[in-house]
Structure 1
Amino acid sequence: MLYPKTKPLSEEEMKIFCDEYRENNHIDLAMCEKYGVKRGLRNDDGTGVLAGLTSICDAQGYERGEDGSVIPKEGRLLYRGYALKDLCKEAVEQDRFMFEEVLYLLLVGKKPTRIEFEMFKQMITNHRELPDGFAETMIFGAPSPNIMNKMTRSVLAMYSYDENAEDLSLENVLSQSINLIAQLPTMMVYAYQVYRHVYQHQSMYFHFPIEGLSTAEHVLATLRGNQSYTHEEAKLLDLALMCYADHGGGNSSTFADRVVSSVGTDTYSAIAAALSALKGSKLGGANIKVMRQLDELMRSGVNPDSDASVKRALKAILNKEMGDGSGLIYGIGHVIYTLSDPRAVVLRDNSAELARKLGHGKEYDMLRMIEKLAPECLREEMGVTKPMCANIDLYSGIVFRILGIEERLYAPVFAIARIGGWCAHRMEELAFNNRVIRPAYKYVGPENLKIKDQ
């Protein structure tokens, strides 16, 4: 970091502090079992601790036996009772954009009538532009090399443009939510264009929102210099947005949103907290690791048409002879889903044709082989016996690459898909739970230290 008028901290100074920290800070994680601590709010079998109730979304990947054991099953993701698989099937068969319908469903609790849907779409369209002077002051004047960072700061800055920012009534929170749902894609595109100009020394271009476009069309039209996109591209992005729209109340970003909402803070702070959680590489950046793993396999000459070739490579990754040294096959396995991740199935089954059409067929084939062979390799090399399926990250990255969306925008696109879910969970938290979320931490540090003369 550069602070022209501030003397930077020297490496020697930082080494002293860091050495002191390492010497004086340690927690023996074996004590978790002694005190019954649920690390990461997870049960011993990896499932989440039950922390609340919700009627918005349910991710199902297993059942419980009479003895409490986990019984694997095909994954289901329900939005207000409707299966994601069925919603996406409806979108494909009727050839229409349905992400906005999913937003309405999550926010209100029911599928909209035709009149309600048209009204809601018009509300989104009417609120895509940012307030006068906002882009110049908050985005152009303060660029960031990280788009998620800039989006978070922009959401927080919207507080200053809202005369009723602290009003927690349903009417006001829903109004704020619709505004943010509409404006976040615009914030993302503007932040990305400024990034390209400042950090990559490229030309930047800004397009005003076009009346009547779906969110998927709006993103592609404003992101691309010529505003050109095909119907097939926009439909694929629409499906991806539907898949990312929500994932229950316990995922990290939504739980952060609920925790912050439970203390009665404003909408902008709550959504900024969710964005901050999603920014982490273990969550919003997971599909980037999938794509870098894929690129290494392709560069190394692994043949996606040969089971033997792919298995050798995957076993090399597990043995830390290839990949990033983590020993992980990215895109495989999930904390909830066992036999299948319904989101991965939707993206896998609907991206093949466009992948081949736009020159990404071999990459797509490699991902299919990873999905097929990774569980076998994990069993043979690591002794993993539990079911391991492909998760959404295995296929979302290739979908974004097919659409010409670069890695820097993977998490931001995830965010513009998820913000409707965040807003729905915030409204539910405010309306029904009415209790500050406050888990406990067991103190295991020193006691009864005496102050001595120095």
Structure 2
Amino acid sequence: MKTLKEIYLECEDGNYIESSLYSAYRVKQGLRNDNGTGVKVGLTRICDVVGYRMVKNHKKPIDGQLIYRGYQISDLVRLAKQDEAIHGYEITAFLLIFGRLPKEDELKSFQFTIKHAFNVDLLWQKYQTTNLLNALQIEILKLFGTDEDPETDRLDLRMEKGLSILSSLPLFVFSVYSNQKITAYPLPAGGFAENILWMARNHKPYTQQEARVMDVLLMLHADHGGGNNSTFANVVISSTGTDIYSCISAAIGSLKGPKHGGAAGKVGLQTKLLLETITEETSDQELEELCEKILRREWGDGSGLIYGIGHAIYTKSDPRCQLIKEECRKLASEKGMSTVFETMNRFEKAAVATMKKVKNADVCANVDFYSGFAYAMLGIDQSLYVPLFAISRCAGWVAHHLENRQSNRKLIRPANIYVGEHHEIFEDSTPDPIPGEVEEVILIEA
């Protein structure tokens, strides 16, 4: 008797769809238009991501912009650095969720809340999974079980639950990571970034610049518009009216994927390999040859991808990359690693030049390229890169969840076109007619 696995492998062609059918039926794969732009699926007042202008249906590269509630991310980072205290992420998270910059007393209240609104009562269990993201999903769904009114659709209560999730995430991550239950933030007087850095490095002392780097990383990852995959997954599920715990858990499931947040881990592994391979003596020509080997799948992980290079929206520059690159430059100087930084800088230029030469693609380094280097200099384990991304992005997820529940109450329910065969079991049966819109497409294609 055949196993179900063997039967499925025999039948797997039944799931294959000819790629030409997508254009024939005018289906936008990946919700992307033919010119590479995204299909418009919603409106938001939270975040804008700008990387090009459209001129006669063609992309014209421009310097990238990331805008939170009307403020350039570069201005927010600059604002945060004016204060000796490290609390840029708290300012950013408040801005995303509440829609405006906090006043001094509001910031203090927000800081207190996200360090005391956690719920880790159900936490402690050793997980069989080696992936922290899966454990994180489980812990968030446990919060549903402890909530006396988890299904409420009152926006103020959903906001409070969102802040509880945001407050709980770091404790969940580092409890599972360290294999010991953490029931409170270890630095009562420290900012959110300082507490995360302290836990991520097992209570190792840090410098002001190290804390600043972590704070800037959290700010840069806090949101990236409503179209990124994890936020869109969150919004799609939010549109059903379900609880916020389910929505944030689903967003984390999306972030885990190697084409989304999981790419940060790939960059980390590539960075480690690069620092073991290239030196200051490595010439620019040799760096470009190395990039060509990567593209030919002859070096690296065999994927043919130069991780951290290129982005779906940013073309000329990624503002997040530029900001964290500058912080990395300062940290490298502090740690006596300026030569290593310059080597990474030269590899970035070589990768961009190689992509232009080999693929005729105008690309730039994205935020992940120097984020991996930053985490490495901070001494943070590679397995924490994506969980740290999730901790940061939670502010954006909560903001988009609340915006959706307030302004867009329609269920998100796009259409699919059936392109399979029709079969008759009985001679007198008549198959359902093909929908009119499909008939029209077939006639056009004919």
* TM-score, with length taken from structure 1: 0.89
1:21 and 2:6 equivalent? no
1:212 to 189, 203, 215: 189
In the alignment, structure 1 residue 52 sits paired with structure 2 residue 52: no
Aligned match for 1:145, one of 105, 130, 133 = 130
Q: 1:420 — aligned with what? A: 395
Aligned match of 1:436: 411
Is 2:32 the counterpart of 1:42?
yes
Question: Contact 1:304–1:362 (CA<8 Å) still a contact in 2?
Answer: no
Residue 254 of structure 2 is aligned with which of 252, 264, 277? Answer: 277
Name the SS for the 1:365 alignment partner. Answer: helix
Superposition RMSD in Å: 2.1
Match of 2:158 in 1: 173
Aligned residue for 1:83?
72
Letter in 2 for 1:412: P
Q: CA deviation at 1:296?
A: 3.1
Question: 1:101 and 2:91 equivalent?
Answer: yes
After TM superposition, the structure 1 = structure 2 runs for residues 294-309 of structure 1, keeping only pairs within 5 Å, are: 294-301=271-278, 303=280, 306-309=283-286
1:131–1:330: structure 2 CA closer, same or farther, 3 Å change rule?
Answer: closer
Match of 1:408 among 383, 386, 404: 383
- Cα deviation, 1:132-185, whole Å, max 9, x if unaligned, reads 3x123xxx2545311010011100110011001000101110110111111111
Provide the rounded CA distance (Å) in 2 between the counterparts of 1:64 and 1:391: 21
8 Å CA contact 1:208, 1:222 repeated in 2? no
SS where residue 77 of structure 1 aligns? strand
Shift of 1:297: 3.4
Does the residue aligned with 1:380 lie in a helix, a strand or coil?
Answer: helix
Deviations 1:24-46 (A, max 9, x none): 33100111111110000011122
Q: For residues 277 and 8 of structure 2, what CA distance do their matches in structure 1 show?
A: 39
Aligned residue runs from structure 1 range 258-273, under 5 A:
258-273=235-250
1:190-221, CA deviations, whole angstroms, 9 ceiling, x for partnerless residues?
Answer: 11112xxxxxxxxx574731323211111122
The CA distance in 1 between the partners of 2:266 and 2:244, in whole Å, is 32
Q: Give the distance between the partners of 2:110 and 2:141, measured in 1 at CA.
A: 24
Quick check: 1:240 aligned with 2:225? no
Alpha-carbon distance, 1:246 to partner = 0.2
Shift of 1:91: 2.0
Q: Which deviates more from structure 2 when the two are superposed, residues 211-220 or residues 180-189?
A: 211-220
Verify: 1:327 aligned to 2:304, yes or no: yes
Change (3 A) 1:443 1:193: same
SS of structure 2 residue aligned to 1:62: strand
Residue aligning to 1:352: 329
Deviations 1:248-305 (A, max 9, x none): 0000000000000000000100000101000111111212222322333343446565
2:269–2:382 Cα contact (<8 Å) kept: no
Q: 1:271 to 1:95 in 2, by over 3 A?
A: same
User: Where does 1:180-195 land on structure 2 (aligned, <5 Å)?
Assistant: 180-194=165-179
Q: Determine the C-alpha separation between the residues in 1 that align with 2:159 and 2:309.
A: 37
Q: CA deviation at 1:232?
A: 1.7
In 2, the alpha carbon distance for the partners of 1:211 and 1:51 equals 42
Counterparts of 1:314 and 1:440, CA distance in 2:
41
What whole-Å deviation, never above 9, does each CA across 1:290-331 have from its counterpart, x for those lacking one?
Answer: 232233334344656521121111111122221222222111
CA shift digits 1:97-144 (9 cap, x unpaired): 21001111000100011111111111112224x343x123xxx25453
Q: Which amino acid aligns with 1:297?
A: L
Please say if 1:110 is aligned against 2:100. yes
CA distance in 2, matches of 1:53, 1:301: 45
Q: Deviations over 1:74-102 (max 9, x none)?
A: 00000000000111122224344210011
Cα distance 1:342–1:421, how it changes in 2: closer, same or farther (>3 A)?
Answer: same
Q: 1:18 to 1:126 in 2, by over 3 A?
A: same
Pair 1:396 & 2:396 matched? no
Corresponding residue number in structure 2 for 1:3: none
Q: Which one-letter code corresponds to 2:421 in the other structure?
A: P
Partner Cα distance (2:91, 2:345) in 1: 30
| Distance across 1 between alignment mates of 2:290 and 2:200 | 36
1:70 equivalent in alignment to 2:47: no
Q: Contact (CA 8 Å) 2:120, 2:183: kept in 1 or not?
A: no
Aligned to 2:436: none
Q: Answer whether contact 1:303 1:310 (CA < 8 A) is retained.
A: no
Tell me how far apart the structure 1 counterparts of residues 276 and 201 of structure 2 sit (CA, whole Å): 28
- Closer, same or farther: CA 346–183 of 1 in aligned 2, 3 Å: same
**Distance of aligned partners of 1:375 and 1:141 in 2 relative to their CA distance in 1, 3 Å threshold:** closer
The one-letter code matched in structure 2 to 1:166 is E
Q: Which ranges of structure 1 fall in alignment gaps of 5 or more residues? A: 1-9, 195-203
Equivalenced residue count is 425
Quote the Cα distance in structure 2 between the aligned partners of 1:57 and 1:400. 25
- Contact 2:306–2:351, Cα closer than 8 Å, also in 1: yes
The runs of 5 or more residues in structure 2 that have no matched partner are 428-446
Q: Any idea what SS the aligned residue of 1:249 has?
A: coil
| Contact 1:56 1:106 survives alignment (8 Å) | yes
Q: Check the 8 A contact 2:279/2:340 in 1, yes or no.
A: no
* CA distance in 1 between partners of 2:181 and 2:204 (Å): 10
